[in-house]
Structure formats: C-alpha cells, structure tokens
C-alpha cells in the first residue's frame, strides 16, 4: 500500500476520478486499461454489484499503472473486504459515526463523504483532510466549495455526483478541489457494450482538460 500522502498527490495529479459500476468481472481490466490509455490513473469501483470486489482484485493484479479504490462503502465489513481484495483507497458516500473507527484503521487514503461544513470539520478533527463532497451538484456544486474555502482552508474536496465534463472547469479551478469524480467517463452502458475506444476518448478529453487547467 502506497503512503497516504503519495496517494493524495496522485489524486490531485489525476484531477478526475472515474466512478465505475461494473456488472461483469471480465470487464474490469479492459475498462481500467481504456481509462489509463486516456491518461486517468485513479479509479473508483463502486461496491454496488455482485462482482465489484472481484473487479477491484482483477484491476489491482493487472499490472496496470493505476490506483484502484472502492466506493459505496456503507458498512464496516465493506472496509475489510475492500482491503482484502486490493483496494488502495476508500470513498464512502457518507460518514456516519459507526464507520469512523474502521475507516481510521484503513492503511490507505480514505476520502469520507460529507455534504455540510459541520461534517467536513468534524472529519478533519478525526484526521481526514480530503473529503468527498456528495452529492456535489444538488448541494450547490462549485459555488458551495468556493464558499467553504475561506472558513475551512485545510480541507480539500473531491466533488462527486452530477459532475460532467462541462462542469469540470468550475471545480478544477478551485484550489480546494483535489479531484472531481464522476460516472460519465465510463458509464455502465458503455462498459457493458465494451465501448473501450469511447471510454479512452472521454478519459483523454478529461485528462487534457486537467493538464490545461493545472499546468505543471
């Protein structure tokens, strides 16, 4: 497991995190390859399907230069399962008290879900300084994160939920945004149809935008 600070740098360097819902284990490596071919190297696999853990394991063992994490962590046992199957980081959509001790014990990066300043500050007090702002667009999107930057200067955010390519610049221009997450890069429909070239194209488009907005 890479050092957490290294993972935080990888997250910021990626700028965009594809959120994947994979229905067939055999799609895991091809979709990861399609995304890395497009320049995106930090991927979140949601624990919403029967094969999600196997998909994480396949990607983790694939030899691809990729950081694979588990999303939709909603109970304590998800944390141990994700670790066992090779997840290097975790992204819970929300962070109730019953998850805190398991999350704090995870050896990699944890990006816990928040929707309010109180939740963000409470998690910062527990040692989490990169949090997932979810669901980002319904909760005010980039203008909410801009408003949070002055009172919460030490917290970085990963907005996810309703983010699109068109909305990316509004997030990536904010210094307190580590990366934005979204499913538009590899939708369940494109994954099931094996549209790997399209997925690479969308990843390349996003990765080029990150480079143009965050040079160096």
Question: What are the catalytic residues?
Answer: 44, 132
Min dist. Cβ of residue 201 to ligand 3PG (A): 18
User: Binders of ligand 3PG among 75-94, rule CB under 6 A?
Assistant: none
Query: Which of 10, 36, 95, 183 lies at the binding interface for ligand 3PG (CB under 6 A)?
Result: 183
Cα torsion for 187, 188, 192, 197, to the nearest 10°? 10
User: How is residue 42 written in tokens?
Assistant: 């930090």
Q: What angle do CA 189, 186, 81 make, to 5 degrees?
A: 100
Q: 114 and 33 in contact (C-beta within 8 Å)?
A: no
Query: Which of 49, 60, 160, 207 lies at the binding interface for ligand 3PG (CB under 6 A)?
Result: 160
Number of amino acids touching ligand 3PG (CB under 6 A): 9
Give the neighbor-by-neighbor strand order of the sheet with 156-159.
113-114, 130-133, 156-159
Min dist. Cβ of residue 23 to ligand 3PG (A): 14
Does residue number 19 form part of the binding site for ligand 3PG (CB under 6 A)?
A: yes
For residues 163 and 174, which CB has a smaller minimum distance to ligand 3PG in the complex? Answer: 163
Nearest to 175 by CA among 15, 3, 1, 52: 15
Which residues here bind ligand 3PG, judged by CB under 6 A? 19, 134, 160-163, 182-184
């Amino acid at each position: 497991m890479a050092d957490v600070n290294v993972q935080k740098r990888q997250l910021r360097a990626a700028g965009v995190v594809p959120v994947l819902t994979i229905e067939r284990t055999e799609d895991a490596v091809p979709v990861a390859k399609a995304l890395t071919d497009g320049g995106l190297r930090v991927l979140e696999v949601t624990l919403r399907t029967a094969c999600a853990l196997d998909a994480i394991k396949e990607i983790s063992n694939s030899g691809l230069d990729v950081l694979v994490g588990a999303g939709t962590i909603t109970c304590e046992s998800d944390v141990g399962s994700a670790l066992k199957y090779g997840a290097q980081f975790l992204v819970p959509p929300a962070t109730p008290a019953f998850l805190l001790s398991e999350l704090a014990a995870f050896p990699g990066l944890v990006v816990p879900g928040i929707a309010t300043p109180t939740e963000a500050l409470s998690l910062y007090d527990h040692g989490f300084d990169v949090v997932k702002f979810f669901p980002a667009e319904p909760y005010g999107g980039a203008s909410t994160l801009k408003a949070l930057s002055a009172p919460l200067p030490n917290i970085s955010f990963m907005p996810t939920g309703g983010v699109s390519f068109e909305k990316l610049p509004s997030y990536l221009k904010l210094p307190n945004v580590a990366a934005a997450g979204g499913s538009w890069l590899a939708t369940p429909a494109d994954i099931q149809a094996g549209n790997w070239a399209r997925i690479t194209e969308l990843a390349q488009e996003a990765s080029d935008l990150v480079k143009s907005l965050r040079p160096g």
